């Protein structure tokens, strides 16, 4: 397992995780065997209510039209998970579409030849260096007022 994937899995220990895929790839087998895994596997991309620590979508968007797939991804990001992973065998969309949805391409050989895209809420909207008291007209009021 790549170090990036290992770090992300370590962060999600103790959180419920969901794999949405037609079957379980051999690369996922050790994760399901681990006692701290708390993994659930579903074939249908229609999700139950609730919040998940991680959601992995493996070949589950391939059968959906692009508009429905993007709506599903939006619903997952807004309601169901802070961390979403897409495993795509042959990307149906250009890289710009994944980037527009907030995903980054992760370099990993664990799932080759599939491409892996990741959405991490905590990394999505990084703090900007210009948004601080140094660049305000009245720096003494930076944390005082909210409008």
Domains of the chain: 3-141 (3.40.50)
Residue 82 corresponds to which tokens in the numbers above? 């802070």
For 139, the token pair is 């720096």
Mean pLDDT, rounded, for 26-49 = 69
Q: Is residue 47's pLDDT more than 80?
A: no
Res. 61 pLDDT band, cuts 50 70 90: confident
Separation CA 94–CA 138 (nearest Å): 44
Are residues 17 and 52 in contact, defined by beta-carbon separation less than 8 angstroms?
yes
Task: Please give the model's pTM, rounded to 2 decimal places.
Answer: 0.71
| Average pLDDT value for the chain | 76
Region 66-83: mean pLDDT is 87
Mean pLDDT of 104-126: 78
């Amino acid at each position: 397992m790549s170090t990036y994937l290992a770090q992300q899995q370590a962060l999600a220990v103790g959180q419920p995780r969901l794999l949405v895929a037609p079957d379980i790839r051999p690369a996922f087998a050790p994760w399901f065997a681990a006692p701290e895994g708390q993994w659930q596997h579903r074939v249908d991309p229609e999700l139950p209510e609730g919040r998940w620590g991680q959601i992995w979508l493996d070949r589950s968007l391939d059968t959906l039209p692009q508009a429905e797939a993007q709506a599903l991804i939006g619903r997952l990001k807004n309601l169901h998970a802070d961390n979403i992973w897409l495993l795509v065998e042959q990307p149906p969309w250009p890289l710009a579409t994944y980037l527009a949805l907030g995903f980054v391409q992760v370099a990993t050989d664990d799932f080759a030849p599939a491409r892996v895209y990741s959405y991490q809420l905590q990394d999505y909207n990084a703090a900007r260096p210009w948004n601080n008291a140094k660049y305000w007209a009245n720096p003494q009021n930076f944390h005082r007022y909210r409008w």
